[in-house]
Amino acid sequence: TDVVRKWQPTDPYSPNGYVVAFETLAKRDKNVAINNKVIKKFRPFSLLQREISFKIYTTKKTNVKYCNDDGVTLLSELVMKLPENENLEDVIIVFTLVFGGVEIIATA
């Protein structure tokens, strides 16, 4: 999936100091048991953010850094509304991928 993080010296230039990076949730050729869960916690980027999206990407490559790298393809996107809140520390979104026999279920 993609995640927004602070810019690092090895990243391409970013005028706002943040980059959208590739976050690995599961690796190719690694056995995953049926009903195995991958759980990640996320926070909104700002208090003004009213929705969050989880974009699921696939790639055959093993060392991807960014979602626009060659060989990275968007598989699906999950979008959810966020409640109004006065404190970013109060909002934690738990994103869960459950691997089934022939399906992947994503919840947040």
Q: Which of the four pLDDT bands, split at 50, 70 and 90, describes residue 55?
A: very high
Q: Which of the four pLDDT bands, split at 50, 70 and 90, describes residue 102?
A: low
Mean pLDDT for the chain overall: 85
pLDDT tens track for 6-42? 999 999 999 999 999 999 888 877 877 888 888 888 8
- HEC assignment per residue over the chain: CEEEEECCCCCCCCCCCEEEEECCCCCCCCCCCCCEEEEEEECCCCCCCCEEEEEEEECCCCCCCCCCCCCCEEEEEEEEECCCCCCHHHCCEEEEEEECCCCEEEEC
pLDDT at 88: 65
Domain count, the chain: 1
In this predicted structure, the answer to whether residue 87 has a pLDDT above a threshold of 70 is yes
Return the higher-pLDDT residue of 91 and 17: 17
The whole domain housing 79 covers 2-107
